[in-house]
Homo-oligomer: A and B are copies of this chain.
C-alpha cells in the first residue's frame, strides 16, 4: 500500500549489503520521519559522490578525484607498492595507517571456478608500473585464501626478473587468537613460519 516511490526506495536500500527487506523498511521509515537530519544529508552526499565518482587511473581505487587521494598524497613513499585484490582491501589497509607506500588494486583474484583469468585483472598495468622503475618493494597483500594465494604466486612469477623485492603479508596467529579456537590451517601456517624468540 506504500506508494511506488517509497517502494522503489525500500528496494534500492534492501539491495545494499547488510540490509534486508525488513531493515530497509525500517531505514526508509527513519528517512521519512527524519527528513532534515537523515533524508536530506543522505541525498546530498549521494549526489556529491555520484557527480564526482571516478576510478583512479593509476591504482584502481574508487574516489572522487583521479588520481585518487592516496596516489596524489605527496607524503607517501613511491618506492613501496602494495598490491591488493579489491578496493575494500586498500581501504582496510589505509585505515590502519600502517602502510606508508602506494597501492595497486587488481580488481579481483584468479579463480578457475569463477573463470577469472590473468587478463581479467589489472596485472599488465601492475607489471608496467613496476617496469617503469622507482619501486624497491612490492608487497603482495592478497587474502589468505586459496585463490588469494594462487594469485600471489602468479604475480610473484610474473614479477620475476624485475629489480624489486617481492614480499607478502605474514600468516599466523591473529592478535588475541587462542590456539584452542583456531583452525588447523592457521596453526599449520603459524608453526611453519615459527621464528626464534628475540
Contacts and interface: CB of A to CB of B under 8 A. Distances in A.
A5 B64 contact: yes
Contacts of A52: 3, 5
Interface string A139-163: 0000000000000000000000000
A127 interface: no
A8 B48 contact: yes
A29 B87 contact: yes
Interface string A92-129: 00110000000000000000000000000000000000
**Interface range, A side:** 35 or more
Interface of A: 1-3, 5-6, 8-9, 11-13, 15-19, 23, 25-27, 29-33, 35, 37-50, 52-53, 62-65, 69-70, 73, 87-88, 91, 94-95
Contacts of A94: 1-2
A53 B6 CA distance: 9
Nearest to A39: B50
Given A6-B49, A45-B9, A27 B19 contact: yes
Contact of A27 (B16, B41, B64): B16
